[in-house]
Amino acid sequence: MDDVERLEEAGFQVTLFQWWEHAEEFGGPKNRFGLIRNERIVVVRKSA
């Protein structure tokens, strides 16, 4: 079982975000936030 499934089973809403598809919003070509290309960002919210 992967981390996403475990979080969802625990009652969280999980969104996987591919930041490089929106690179301009995340530092542009300079990548000022130091994000690793092709690394997904996991956004986790507590379900209502």
Output the pLDDT for position 11. 95
Domain spans of the chain, in order of start: 3-46
CA atoms within 13 A on the CB side of 30: 3
CA atoms within 13 A on the CB side of 5: 2
For residues 22 and 13, what is the distance between their CA atoms, to the nearest angstrom? 22
Output the pLDDT for position 1. 62
- The C-alpha angle with vertex 15 and arms to 23 and 19, in degrees rounded to 5, equals 10
The string of DSSP letters for 16-47 reads EE-GGGGGGGGTGGGTTT-PPTTPPEEEEEE-
Output the pLDDT for position 19. 79
Output the pLDDT for position 17. 84
Using one digit for the tens of pLDDT, what is the confidence trace for 13-47? 999 888 778 777 766 777 777 878 888 888 899 98
Residue 9 has pLDDT above 90, yes or no: yes
